[in-house]
Structures are given as structure tokens and as C-alpha cells.
């Protein structure tokens, strides 16, 4: 590159009587024009790259909650993935994901398909969104207007799916499954068997230790099943347990004229409190087998878990990561 020199002609005048002239020369530098000179705002020069959020779930979203009159509030459980459920990214893992997820998939006007007692019972139209801070991690929560078929007016605990395919499911015959003497007696027999099998301390009274008992009927089952929670030195709530406390959860299926154990869950509070109760059942993945949603109570918070079927037995298919027992 050919260099071009700038010739500076300098005429110096000195006041009379000065014999010497001192000067420092000329310093010439080349630099890019400032952002202001280019017409670029300062904020653009300091812009930070936008945070990249995880992709939104593509499978159906399962929600759970309760109805109060013609309205219901439902909390997001997770994404239906194959035969199980998957947890969504938390705010700690991906700040901003919760708001993005709610705004995109559960905005006001969104319609959800409602289920109760294992069958489709109506729909909910979202009117409000919020964050459920009562769970072990912040969750999306919606409130909306409920429309139920006439025969389902007694439905209180509800499950919901966002999947459009759920709208094509056939309407089932809704029926409240009352918990009768046979189911209550069956739950006591199952708890007695479990306590002996595990060598646990006996509660003063098994009837008083039973924190919850619920019967439910699956399609084509010969009789109602039963699920029950038994607690020692504890209660079925978000509360600190007593010394030596434990939670025992049993599920029994009616076989051969009696209730046979099909699931046994035991958790001592030495591993951190985790007391489950039956919340609802539904074939939410559409594979023909029923799943059970559990509402689990800890010492300071609560979370969800689920059970799936394998033959006549049940097994755990999902638990919120924050509910994992301490080792």
C-alpha cells in the first residue's frame, strides 16, 4: 500500500527577547468512529445474546386439580412420554421457561379435555394462569370454566389433557365409586400383611393410622380396587413428622373373592418424608392400561408421582425429582 504523508507547515512566532522555542511535536492516530458518530445507540453496542430456552414439550400435558362449582384450578403434572410421565424444565434449570410454556401452551382461551373416575367428562376453558408455589418447584397453574356432561355433576377431582387426540376419545359412563365396608376392611388386611412383611413398628390402631382410603374401578375389572395410606407418628399433610415416623401405601385388586396386594410403597422419614395418597386414575397415554396419579406430602412441600400396570401388579413410573428419597 502506498503511504501518503501529510505535510504540516508550521510558522512559529516568538515574542521578542525569547532565544529558544520548545515544542512537543504532533501526534497523529487513526481510529474507528464512535458508535454515536455512526448513529448506533449505545444499548446496541452493549446487547447481551438472548437466552436460548429448552424446546417446548410436544406430547400431551397432564394436569390435575379440583372443581369448585363451575370453575376448577388445575396444576401441571408433566408431559406424557410413552408409558410414563416426564418432568418439565424447572426455573432453576431454565429461567423464563415457565412463563414461555404457560404463554404458549396454556394461554387464556385454551381448551383442556377433562377426565374423572377414569372417563372423559367434559372440558375446561382457561381464563387465568398463575404459578403454583405450593409444590416442590414452581409449576404452571390454570383456572377456567368447567363444562361437564349431565351425568358427571358429582365429579370433583379432575385430570386434564392438552392433547387434541384426547378430544376424540369416546365418552365413558361416569360413576362415583363409593368406598364400602369391603374396601375398608380390605385395606386393613393389606396393611397388616405389609407391616408383618417389612417388620415395621405397629401403630396403636390401624384404623386411626389410616390417613386415606379410596376405591376405584378400572375398565373390565371384576370389582373395585382399593388404595390406602397408613401413617405412624405423622399425618397426611405438609407437616413435620414425629420421631420414628413412616408412610405405608398399599393398592389391592379384587381377586378370588378377596383383596390381593398389587403394590406396596414404604418410606421411613429417615429418608425424608414422602406420604402419598391416591388422587385419580386414567389411561392418560392411551395404551389401554390404567395409570394412577399420586399426590405426595413432604415435611415442607408436596409433589406428584404415578403408578403404571404390569400384569396384575403396579409399579412406579414417575416421581418429581425433588421427591426422590434421601439416601
8 Å CB contact between 278 and 236: no
- What are the residues whose beta carbons fall under 8 Å from the beta carbon of 283, sequence distance 6 or more? 118, 289, 290, 291
DSSP character at residue 36: H
Q: Determine the pLDDT at residue 299.
A: 94
Is 45 in a helix, a strand, or coil?
Answer: helix
* pLDDT single digits (tens) 43-67: 544 554 567 899 999 999 999 999 9
Please compute Rg for the chain using Cα positions: 33
CB atoms within 10 A of CB 272: 15
Q: Where are the domains of the chain?
A: 61-168, 181-323
Which whole-number Å values give the CA distances from 267 to 203, 210, 229, 298, in the listed order? Answer: 15, 15, 11, 11
Query: In the structure grid, which three cell numbers stand for residue 133, read together?
Result: 408455589
What's the pLDDT score for residue 170? 87
Residue numbers in the chain where pLDDT is lower than 70: 1-50, 326-327
The pTM for the full model equals: 0.84
DSSP state letters, 218-271: -TT-SS-EEEEEEEES--SSSS---TT-EEEEEEEEEETTEEEEEEEEEEEGGG
Side-chain-facing half-sphere of 264: CA atoms under 13 Å: 12
CA distance 201 to 262: 22
CB neighbour list of residue 255: distance below 8 Å, 6 or more residues apart: 222, 312
The predicted structure's pLDDT at residue 256: 86
Confidence (pLDDT) at 57 = 95
Residue 326: its pLDDT value, please? 65
| 116 CB neighbour count, 10 Å cutoff | 23
Amino acid at each position: 500500500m502506498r503511504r501518503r504523508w501529510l505535510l504540516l507547515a508550521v510558522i512559529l512566532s516568538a515574542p521578542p527577547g525569547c532565544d529558544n522555542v520548545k515544542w512537543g511535536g504532533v501526534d497523529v492516530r487513526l481510529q474507528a468512529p464512535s458508535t454515536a458518530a455512526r448513529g448506533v445507540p449505545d444499548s446496541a453496542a452493549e446487547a447481551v445474546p438472548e437466552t436460548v430456552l429448552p424446546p417446548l414439550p410436544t406430547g400431551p400435558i397432564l394436569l390435575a386439580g379440583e372443581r369448585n362449582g363451575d370453575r376448577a384450578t388445575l396444576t401441571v403434572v408433566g408431559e406424557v412420554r410413552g408409558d410414563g410421565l416426564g418432568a418439565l424444565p424447572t426455573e432453576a434449570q431454565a429461567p423464563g421457561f415457565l412463563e414461555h410454556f404457560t404463554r404458549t401452551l396454556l394461554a387464556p382461551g385454551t381448551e383442556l379435555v377433562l377426565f374423572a373416575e377414569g372417563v372423559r367428562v367434559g372440558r375446561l376453558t382457561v381464563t387465568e394462569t398463575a404459578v403454583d408455589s405450593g409444590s416442590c418447584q414452581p409449576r404452571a397453574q390454570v383456572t377456567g370454566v368447567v363444562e361437564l356432561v349431565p351425568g358427571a355433576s358429582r365429579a370433583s377431582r379432575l385430570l386434564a389433557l392438552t392433547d387434541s387426540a384426547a378430544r376424540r376419545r369416546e365418552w365413558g359412563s361416569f360413576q362415583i365409586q363409593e368406598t364400602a365396608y369391603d374396601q375398608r376392611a380390605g385395606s386393613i388386611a393389606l396393611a397388616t400383611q405389609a407391616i408383618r412383611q417389612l417388620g415395621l413398628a405397629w401403630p396403636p390402631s390401624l384404623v386411626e393410622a389410616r390417613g386415606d382410603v379410596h376405591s376405584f374401578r378400572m375398565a373390565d375389572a371384576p370389582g373395585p380396587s382399593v388404595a390406602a395410606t397408613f401413617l405412624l407418628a405423622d399425618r397426611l399433610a405438609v407437616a413435620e413428622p414425629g420421631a420414628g415416623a413412616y408412610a405405608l401405601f398399599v393398592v389391592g385388586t379384587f381377586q378370588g373373592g378377596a383383596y390381593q396386594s398389587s403394590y406396596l410403597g414404604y418410606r421411613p422419614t429417615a429418608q425424608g418424608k414422602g406420604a402419598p395418597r391416591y388422587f385419580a386414575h386414567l389411561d392418560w397415554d392411551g395404551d389401554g392400561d390404567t395409570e394412577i396419579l399420586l399426590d405426595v406430602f413432604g415435611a415442607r412441600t408436596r409433589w406428584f408421582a404415578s403408578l403404571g400396570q404390569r400384569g396384575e401388579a403396579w409399579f412406579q413410573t414417575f416421581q418429581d425429582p425433588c421427591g426422590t428419597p434421601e439416601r
